[in-house]
Amino acid sequence: MPQPGRKERTTHFGYREVPESAKENLVADVFHSVAGKYDLMNDLMSLGVHRLWKQFATEASGVRGGFRVLDVAGGTGDLAAKFAPRVGRRGQVVLADINSSMLEVGRARLADQGFAGNVAFVQANAENLPFADDYFDRVSIAFGLRNVTHIDQALASMLRVLKPGGMLLVLEFSRPVVPGLNNLYDAYSFKVLPWLGRVIARDEASYRYLAESIRKHPDQETLKAMMEQAGFERVQYFNLSGGIVALHKGYKF
């Protein structure tokens, strides 16, 4: 809460500047609204390519039997469903999300797919994760980091819960690096995505925010520097689909 007599700091919510204390609820409203159509919209918006991005992240994770894996902002469970068979009965996957609607969709979806026993669900804020220090072998966050209010605090929280030798994976929209792709990407983001949101999800505003939030997110090199500043080492990133998406990896030593 802001102190009496002091002007509260602001942050971005898409292209709007809002008080920091307001962003969490504004983002929550977006995901409460889109939760029911989230998976369908992901397939339509990316023409199914999001599945390949997530598979690349899964392969790059090196997750194996007995690992403890935390998927932050895990939403409807795409990554959790990929990690669970890899950790096996001796391991554990924790799907954490701040949004109760997304968490319930994820819980129901994974139950329908037969995942039980080694997957847990926790409602949690990425900036203040309710887990012990040095607990997880891997932490992932896919398409969620740009929605947190304080990215630096989220990175610090994820570093804290990682074991020494553990890895953080950040899969997120980034900056196109292929010449000429920016103009096409902008046209798609600000014309096609809101139209899909209006027609399919009956919520144009939420998908306009999602397009705007991508443009406000740090680029590849900036996020790499932020991870290093948070304490991650051997940070590297991989551009996917011409830089529309990037996977960042960093270790805790």
pLDDT bucket at 250, cuts 50 / 70 / 90: very high
User: For 98-220, where are the E strands, in sequence order?
Assistant: 119-123, 136-142, 162-173
Per-residue pLDDT tens over the stretch 127-165: 999 999 999 999 999 999 999 999 999 999 999 999 999
Strand partners, 233: 251
Per-residue pLDDT tens over the stretch 31-90: 888 888 888 888 888 989 999 999 999 999 999 999 999 999 999 999 999 999 999 999
Q: What is the CATH number of domain 48-177+218-251?
A: 3.40.50.150
Per-residue pLDDT tens over the stretch 187-227: 998 998 889 889 988 889 988 998 899 999 999 999 999 99
In this structure, the strands spanning 92-97 and 119-123 are parallel
Q: What pLDDT shows up at residue 33?
A: 87
Per-residue pLDDT tens over the stretch 106-120: 999 999 999 989 999
Whether this prediction's pTM lies above 0.75 is answered by yes
Q: For residues 235 and 161, give the distance between their C-alpha atoms in angstroms, rounded to a whole number.
A: 18
Q: What are the sequence ranges of the domains in the chain?
A: 48-177+218-251
Listed in sequence order, the residues at least 6 apart from 213 whose beta carbon sits closer than 8 Å to its beta carbon are 12, 13, 14, 146, 147
Q: What pLDDT shows up at residue 37?
A: 85
Residue 248: pLDDT over 80: yes
